[in-house]
Amino acid sequence: MSQSASPTLAFVAAIEDAAQLFRKAKRVVVLTGAGISSPSGIPDFRSEGSGLWSRDEPMEVASLTAFRASPERFFNWFRPLAGQIYNAKPNAAHIALAELENAGLEITIVTQNIDGLHQKAGSMRVVEMHGTLRTLSCTECFKQFESDSFLEPYIKDGNIPRCLNCNGILKPDVILFGEQLPQFAWLEAQRAARQCDLMLVAGSSLEVLPVAGLPMQALDQGAHLIVINHTPTYVNVRADVVLMDDVASIIPEITKRVLHG
C-alpha cells in the first residue's frame, strides 16, 4: 500500500502505482462521493463543522416525511444548495474520468452525488445512487419533467416548482431520508462492483450504507482497490493504493500517466 499527503517520492510512486492498476484493468468502477464535487463549489453534507448536517437536522428538513408535511419548508432550505448545484461546473476530476472513458477504458461511475457533474463532463456510464436534480416528478400525477426550466425561477425568486399537467408540487428526483434507494441503480451498482477488477473510491468517506459496502463486494471478487480521500475510510487497510489528498489534483495526475505514460 502506498500513502502520502505531500509530493514526496512515495507520493509520486503511489500515483504511478494507481496508473499501473488502471492500465491493467479491464473493468473499472469509480465510486464517487461529496469530495469530488466540493472543488466545484458544492458543500459536503457531513464534514465536521462545515457540513450541512452540522447546521441542520436532516430528518427535519430533508426527509420524505418532512417534505410531505411541509414542502415549503423543504424548498426554503434546499434553495441555496440547489443554486450551488445548478451553477456548478465539472472540475478537473470529473473531466479526467470522462477522458479515461472516452479513451476506451470500460468505466462505470457509481456516484452518491445528485449534481449531474459526471454527465456534464462527458461520462456516459453513470449510476446515480441518491437520485438526481436533473429531473422533477409530480407528487400528484407522477409526471416527470426535466428540471432546467423550473430551477431558474425557483432559485432566483423562490417559486416552488409546480406540475404543468395538474399544478401539483414537483419533488426533485433526489433520494430524501426515509426513501429507498432506486432499485435499478442499486442492482446495477452491485453488478458493476462484483464484475470489476479495479475499484477507485474517490471523495467518499464510505460512511453511508448500503453504498459503503460496495468496495467489499469488489474486494471479495478479487478486485484491486484505490482510495483517494482527505480522511481515512474503513477499507484503507485493504487498498492497494491510498492517497490522502484532493481528488481534483490526484485523478488528473493518474489520468495523465495512464493516457500518456
What CATH number has the domain bearing residue 58?
A: 3.30.1600.10
pLDDT of res. 45:
61
pLDDT at 257 exceeding the cut of 60 = yes
118 is catalytic: no
Give how far the C-alpha of residue 209 lies from the chain's centroid of Cα atoms, to the nearest Å: 14
- The pLDDT tens digits of the residues spanning 72-124 come to 999 999 999 999 999 999 999 999 999 999 999 999 999 999 999 999 999 99
Q: CATH code at 100? A: 3.40.50.1220
Residue closest to 154 by CA, chosen among 237, 85, 202: 85
SS (H, E, C) 187-254: HHHHHHHHHCCEEEEECCCCCCCCHHHHHHHHHHCCCEEEEECCCCCCCHHHCCEEECCCHHHHHHHH
pLDDT at 61 exceeding the cut of 90 = no
Of the listed 130, 224, 230, 260, which one is catalytic?
130
**Higher-confidence position of 9 and 140:** 140
Mean pLDDT of the chain: 92
**Higher-confidence position of 260 and 60:** 260
- The pLDDT tens digits of the residues spanning 201-225 come to 999 999 988 999 999 999 999 999 9
Statement to judge: residues 66 and 143 lie in one domain: yes
Percent of the chain at pLDDT above 90? 85
Q: 235: domain range?
A: 1-42+90-130+181-261
* C-alpha radius of gyration, the chain, whole number: 19
Give me the count of residues in the chain: 261
Statement to judge: residues 147 and 111 lie in one domain: no
